Structure 1
């Protein structure tokens, strides 16, 4: 092989790696959120600045707050409380999502809360 062929193959390999890296970075935050909770999606609680996605699997309830638009770090929170237990929460400044937060609910009702910036949602007792 001459040096020109080696350079072409290296350039092609770098182009493929760059393209795959860009595709991974360009995927939306919702894809990340969907991967972070196991189980099936049972509810979406929308609000003005985002939504809380709720998943259930083998008595566990998992929730993630996702913003409507991904643009820099902003205050976000998500909390899940099984009836009779303390809430589990994730609060901070995030880019893509807050959570996942998982609790063992068994057959208990759960109360979910989520916020992005000034918008928020509170579910009341659901999934009873």
Structure 2
């Protein structure tokens, strides 16, 4: 065999070994990672409406909410608001493409009122999580 042919075979074998080692270390699902949620804690409720949804999370007495638009094509007026009973509402409003928030309040064991709006349509929960 000529030396060029031997070098190509050794290089090809080394490349195959490196690919197998990388696949073993990284694993088959490495490229399929999911995005982390915006709010910490456990998802406890989803309030849907015609143009979007409000997702509510809770962790250690804190309540966090995010408004998502159904269409992510252009900027539109969006808002999200969380109010713990006996406190003022915490709000995020503006012209966004995909989401408004997150908005986080300490509710403890108090009821909360959630509002979300996308392009003039929205949802208001009333007092929940009492």
Settle same-fold status: TM greater than 0.5.
yes
Let me know the Cα RMSD of the aligned residues: 1.2
Task: Name the residue aligned to 2:114.
Answer: 112
Residue 97 (str. 1) matches residue 99 (str. 2): yes
Superposition deviation, residue 76 in structure 1? 0.2
**Which residue pairs with 1:87 in the alignment?**
89
Partners of 2:101 and 2:86 lie apart in 1 by 22
Distance of 2:121 and 2:49 partners within structure 1: 6
In the other structure, the counterpart of 2:55 is: 53
What is the CA–CA distance in structure 2 between the aligned matches of 1:115 and 1:47, rounded to whole Å?
9
Structure 1 residues without counterparts, runs of 5 or longer: 1-30
Number of aligned residues: 97
TM-score, scaled relative to structure 1: 0.73
Match of 1:69 in 2: 71
Shift of 1:71: 1.0
Residue 35 of structure 1: how far off its partner (Å): 2.2
Rg larger in structure: 2
Once the two structures are superposed, residues 1-22 of structure 1 have per-residue CA deviations (whole angstroms, 9 ceiling, x without a partner) of xxxxxxxxxxxxxxxxxxxxxx
* Aligned equivalent of 2:22: none
Name segments (4+ residues, structure 1) moved above 6 Å. none
Task: Decide which of 113, 121, 124 is 1:122's aligned counterpart.
Answer: 124
Any stretches of 5+ residues in structure 2 without a counterpart? 1-33
